[in-house]
Structure 1
């Protein structure tokens, strides 16, 4: 009996007693779907970054989203948190400050260092962008049953868990 996964039809008949052929086909189909998910996520991130500010690189939205979630911080802490090098982070922070998306102030106890955070304008733009992302995600899942959503959440949790099941 064939199973349809995305654009793939999998023949569930096995060629050996252990079922290695159908298992292999399922694992390949899973890999294809994970790749499709990663591509769709990357595309959504690119659109979100452009929605946040068309004149900035997508990495700037990553910084802004982190600041939105965690609040003001030193540029070095931001760079570490978003896994970017300090130079790139500093350049993006400078550009974001010049666009009025970030505010900065001297760091308490070390006036040579600064703390950056989202300005009111920056917070509004991040919030609007996240709302837009949420609408797109909701549009993709609004017709799903609660059982389907629960199943996907559980399976993704198992897939991304540090512990094998």
Structure 2
């Protein structure tokens, strides 16, 4: 619609028509998954270091009999791979929350902290020496906090801030 008094409209090049631009993606998926893979590596290495500390320095036999050495057995490798898998699952959860939820990082943090609480309580439901239960619970706590804090930071960095037009 044009205003004949001021010659506004499509014919006047001084006032170009506003073109609809597709919205920028809300999440940088590549950055998110790169951070998730990095978190998985850190979580797995954290398990290995913690088990070597508990078994080798503190002398607490977790996941293997006492004579298995500081690393233990293949169960240490399985535990480290499970930690890496948990980090990748948490990354998938974070991606879904970032794409679909309001305040996604708040929901993500709460979900991860509650899953971490379950992982900390779980060793106390098993049959083992109390020192092994405590050591396993502490390792689970450290891994859970590592995954939660690192992926919260990654999620924040992976969000694209759409700029307002004209700025």
TM over 0.5: no
* TM-score normalised per structure 2: 0.29
With the length of structure 1 as denominator, give the TM-score of the two structures: 0.30
Which structure would you say has the larger RCO, counting Cα contacts within 8 Å and 6 or more residues apart?
2
